[in-house]
Structure 1
């Protein structure tokens, strides 16, 4: 098996030949994800997850799909609490946060992004979003609730589903 300078020369010859055949030049890291879904709920860990996912999307030239799952709180709705209005306000605030960050970083940090909202259980909403958007990767923040260490968090459930690479950001 050849090694060393002979292999390097062979690889360079192949690269030159491909460069002559195609106007595109070789670029590292372009075989990565095309759609990255990030779950965002306004918590500190979800904001860190969104920042991480945005950097990943920028480096991979991928679409960043920011997903907010509006929880359905049956008990609050039964008591007359305007749950839908509250979760709609949270969604609007998240979109504004993303737009503000995009405008501040325009010209130095370009990322294609979309914002999606779903209603229901956060796990099921993220699964639905990842399936519908044909996600190549999912990024979520670590749960900040103590009870999730016992019953399992959305992040743990996504990892156990094993359908996409899942990154959990602390």
Structure 2
């Protein structure tokens, strides 16, 4: 089964992101607005058990924290993605590093980890540039407490649902 690890921001951040995602993110109905901590991967039952034990241990040592989203950015030209960017990524980077080690180590990542909330993807180049030009001029100042992470699995219809939540207890 395919599993992934995310942090869901608070509802007001999801609502803000979803106001754009409804139209510009084809994955809008498959998963709520989120910050990916570890890309999806196929795991056996044994790998899943190791992952759950690791996540229990990792989250026990990490305290909750607050993120601030302050602008729209893009991954262009690598990919046609628009996203809400974090003002300071240090806390999310620490969380990512604590999760992506030991049994969940990523051996060959395609990208440098950049915590973000996607608001548009699979856009044409023209649409991406038009939207980015308009959105980057907007003043954005929203924050969210991150106090838990979720281990998700992909269902047969392609949507994602929670397998287990882990509170940050450090």
Give the TM-score normalised by the residue count of structure 2. Answer: 0.25
Please tell me whether Structure 1 or Structure 2 has the larger radius of gyration of its CA atoms: 1
Higher relative contact order structure (alpha carbons within 8 Å, sequence separation ≥ 6):
2
- Larger helix fraction of residues: 1
Give the TM-score normalised by the residue count of structure 1. Answer: 0.25
